[in-house]
Amino acid sequence: MSEEKEVTIYDIARLLNISAATVSRGLKDDPVINKSTRKKIQDLAKELGYRSNTFASNLRKKKTNTIGVIVPRLSSYFMAHVIAGMEHIATNEGYDLVISQSLETLKKEIANAETMFNNRVDGLLVSLSCETENLDHFEPFIRKGIPLIFFDRIKEHSRCMGIIIDNYKSAYEATKHLLDNGYRRIMHITGNLTCTVYAERWKGYKQALNDYKITPDLKMLVIKDLSEEAGMAAAAYILKLKQRPDAVFCANDACAIYCMRTLKQAGIKIPEEIAFVGFNNDPMSKVVEPNLTTVNYPGYAMGEAAATQLINHLNGISSITATNIIVLRSELITRESSRKKKVKS
């Protein structure tokens, strides 16, 4: 069976005995064409299954009204909120998002960047994979003048903007909170330290310990992928230690919650025996017992800020190179999982 021929504006013009230019204006609902003619054009186009050739139109305009987004994973609560914030701004401004995930691999991130470039996105928003050590695969965008903004996980570049929270400060405050509440042997469960986000949280954690004259113990550093399974594995590691931690600061909530749950199943009391602080303010943090102390990380606001900065640049309102780094506010939310340690008499 042969493929059905694509309907063109010339087919519609011939059937209605009008010019192709009139059809083109009528399909765009141009008021220059009278209302009844516009309706005839649009009704016939719908009946014939006409599709506008946006690709050809975009080539002429040198604009696609699409923004590329590359993230490490789409499955996280935080990233879902970031994308929701981007979508809100982009939709209001007439842009569509094209979203892909690197799955934390450099190879996939390179492939995603190439696809975005070939699809002629107007701009690109990227949260880098933990394997990314340089920005070579984004050079085609930079050379072409296609605006590029990094968010959450960033690397600095003179022609690219970065949007972050102060991970160092947030981790310092989370660790200091545990120290102020009487905990001294604090474990840090984190992600790959080649990733700036986790490297900065590790630095903040260490500085808080140093300020309390406590030397960081590498047995108290657990590097995982921060998944639910990683939380259970971290709990198994804790249970095997001769000298267990009296508190845990985990670089995300999901991992912290599954670590807590596994320890509770083994008979460990939270926070009496081991206190917990997480990161991200996942909704699960308010449901788990005891409720989890966490750092509120403004994902939706980050998504809105990234999309706003990019679209403002595209519209000539501002330049993304004017300010290299935007730092959003975050805050520690204290709950029962880290309440003050009772000193034994």
Name the percent of the chain lying above pLDDT 70. Answer: 94
- Residue 12: partners with Cβ closer than 8 Å, 6 or more residues away: 23, 41, 44, 45, 48, 50
pLDDT at residue 35 is higher than 60: yes
Residue at 96: amino acid letter: D
List the structure tokens of 56.
């050809």
Outline where DSSP puts E strands in the chain: 66-71, 96-101, 123-126, 148-151, 161-165, 186-190, 221-223, 247-250, 275-277, 294-296, 325-328, 331-333
Q: What is the pLDDT of residue 149?
A: 96
The C-alpha angle 202, 207, 212, rounded to 5 degrees, equals 130
Res 94 pLDDT > 50: yes
How far, CA to CA in Å, does 46 sit from each of 9, 23, 27, 49?
12, 13, 10, 5
Q: What is the mean pLDDT of residues 304-319?
A: 92
Interstrand relation of 148-151 and 186-190 (parallel, antiparallel or unpaired): unpaired
Q: Look at residues 207, 195, 202, 101 and name the one whose alpha carbon lies nearest to residue 152.
A: 195
User: Do the beta carbons of residue 159 and residue 123 sit within 8 Å?
Assistant: no
Residue written as token pair 């845990």: 248
Helix (H) or strand (E) holding 67: strand 66-71
Phi, psi of 110 (to 5 degrees): -60, -45
Confidence bin at 53 (pLDDT 50/70/90): low
Give dist(CA 71, CA 127) in Å, integer.
5
Structure tokens at 160: 């690219």
pLDDT, tens digit (0-9, with 9 covering 90-100), for 251-299 = 999 999 999 999 999 999 999 999 999 999 999 999 999 999 999 989 9
pLDDT digits (tens, 9 = 90+) for 130-189: 999 999 999 999 999 999 999 999 998 888 999 999 999 999 999 999 999 999 999 999
Average pLDDT of the chain to the nearest whole number: 91
Q: Are 255 and 234 in contact (CB under 8 A)?
A: yes
Domains of the chain with bracketed CATH: 9-52 (1.10.260.40), 65-165+299-329 (3.40.50.2300), 167-297+332-338 (3.40.50.2300)
Tell me how far apart the alpha carbons of residues 69 and 86 are, in angstroms, rounded to a whole number. Answer: 9
Residue 298 preceded by cis peptide, ω within 30: no
Tell me: pLDDT of 1 over 60: no
**pLDDT at residue 209, rounded to an integer:** 98
Give the predicted TM-score (pTM) of the model. Answer: 0.81
Q: How many CB atoms lie within 10 A of CB 266?
A: 11
